[in-house]
Structure 1
């Protein structure tokens, strides 16, 4: 099989690669820095930061599963990819997208317990529970995505070996298959809707309870302080789900738009969250911000 890149914009691949390479570099540096800080500072070995480490790990895998091969297409026209390697890339891409959604939901639960049940925070969010939440996120993703490679292997690909995309996305591979692909179409849409709607619904519900608890606090300063601990997480949720919603709306509104429009949007919602999340947490989370400042001050001494 081969990845075509961005159909219609092949002559601009070298220029298009510049912002993507920059964004990928930021994602690598930002998420690796977060993981280093959380590991190095014992004060950050708390539930909130352990979930943040999970988010950084999923973002690293998500971006690294697709961007290196994408940049190889843009820079070296290395379009070939083994069919089984394509299935592996697709499995990692969709599995870790589902894990990212689960981690964001877990972080919403963390904020709910911290603000609505502050006296029970450390007794509820124990190391054992955090481990079980992480394992459940992995198990859910693997269970939902394991059927996809097997479903795709049964098809004969008579519409050519070239994927009209930069990476092996499920529906892009399905479009090359001959035969009845209706089950794959329904399964892909059902899983996406189930994950996005369910996780987002529970995250919003958590924030409804958080808002109720915050509004009941006596002083305005206490309200600002309590809600301030949620700003980073709200930013991470918006940076993850907003591109997905925009892409989904564009698919329906601009159905007859040029293919490269939808492909660029797909790359955007894949790369934007891993790039932006570390910046949001680095700026808005005091403990991480302070640790980074102390590192720079030591270097300048």
Structure 2
């Protein structure tokens, strides 16, 4: 960074949005508020109810914390740049945002892998579940999911931090590592970091994919020997995890396509949606799936609303029964 000749990056994607910026600002603000409220509510309900202090719910809280982290790294910055006259971002903030967003993405996938392992232990070894998922094991998995992305990406990102920048144009709504590399003064550095990135990328994906695949292969084999009712119960506990994983994987694929391939033939609106999907959609969908989609959590949320007189008792009971 000491050799950087450029002080700001210009985010060219915002110029097309100039005529709609007030409406878009309102939409992004609403989405951010919804994300913070839903995820904070889920964390609060799980924290306040001892009946919900199970390993899976610990990981759900961690997932919600990561959603708040990711959306806070993205949406406030988008709103600020959207309303600015020049649509410029200071280089140092841009580099910080790259770190935040990439560690969010890596942590999200790792948390899903840990949750898959939890479902494997719960369904395949129900009698030994609490000994397998002991407090020390849960603590170790939480530390792994929280610290590994921060440390692993920092090691790779140290290469980008050494770059000097001569270009100052970014074609996205936010900063990503590949866009930083494209603006580097040295073509050799661009090629080297791009190749290193392709080598390191599997470290953030392959172990997690293997863990998730292993977990569900084992779960499938066990379920084949269960009764219909037991199969339904097992599937019911896995559906939120599988849906969340699918939603996030789609967003991750969108982001990889945007970063690595020329998307000029795709409409601007589609590219905007694809670029924002990987943070916004999972951040809203996950608390809904694990909160409103899980009966015991839904009941506790409604009880919390009744306690603080946000919702009438009769209406809460009707919702619970439904």
TM-score by length of 2: 0.84
Residue 262 (structure 1) shift: 3.5
Q: Which residue of 1 aligns with 2:251?
A: 243
Deviations 1:113-132 (A, max 9, x none): 00000111111111111111
Q: Which of 21, 34, 46 is 2:54 aligned to?
A: 46
Residue 196 (structure 1) shift: 2.7
Q: Which residue of 2 aligns with 1:163?
A: 170
* 3-state SS of paired residue (2:163): coil
Q: Which of 50, 53, 60 is 2:68 aligned to?
A: 60
- The answer as to 2:304 corresponding to 1:289 is no
- The answer as to 2:35 corresponding to 1:27 is yes
Q: Which residue of 2 aligns with 1:172?
A: 179
Given that 1:112 and 1:210 are in contact with CA atoms closer than 8 Å, whether structure 2 keeps it comes out as: yes
- The answer as to 2:281 corresponding to 1:272 is yes
Given that 1:171 and 1:185 are in contact with CA atoms closer than 8 Å, whether structure 2 keeps it comes out as: yes
Cα distance in 1 for partners of 2:172, 2:210 equals 31
Deviations 1:22-50 (A, max 9, x none): 32222111110111011111111110100
Alignment of 1:127-206 (within 5 A): 127-160=135-168, 162-179=169-186, 180=188, 181-206=190-215
Paired residues, number: 299
Residue 247 (structure 1) shift: 4.4
TM-score by length of 1: 0.90
Structure 2: runs of 5+ lacking an equivalent: 1-7, 314-322
Given that 1:251 and 1:262 are in contact with CA atoms closer than 8 Å, whether structure 2 keeps it comes out as: no
Residue 146 (structure 1) shift: 1.1
Structure 1: runs of 5+ lacking an equivalent: none
Report the RMSD for the aligned CA atoms in angstroms.
2.3
Q: Which residue of 1 aligns with 2:5?
A: none
Residue 229 (structure 1) shift: 0.8
- The answer as to 2:124 corresponding to 1:116 is yes
Q: Which residue of 2 aligns with 1:222?
A: 230
Q: Which residue of 1 aligns with 2:105?
A: 97
Residue 250 (structure 1) shift: 6.6
* 3-state SS of paired residue (2:278): helix
Cα distance in 2 for partners of 1:272, 1:266 equals 11
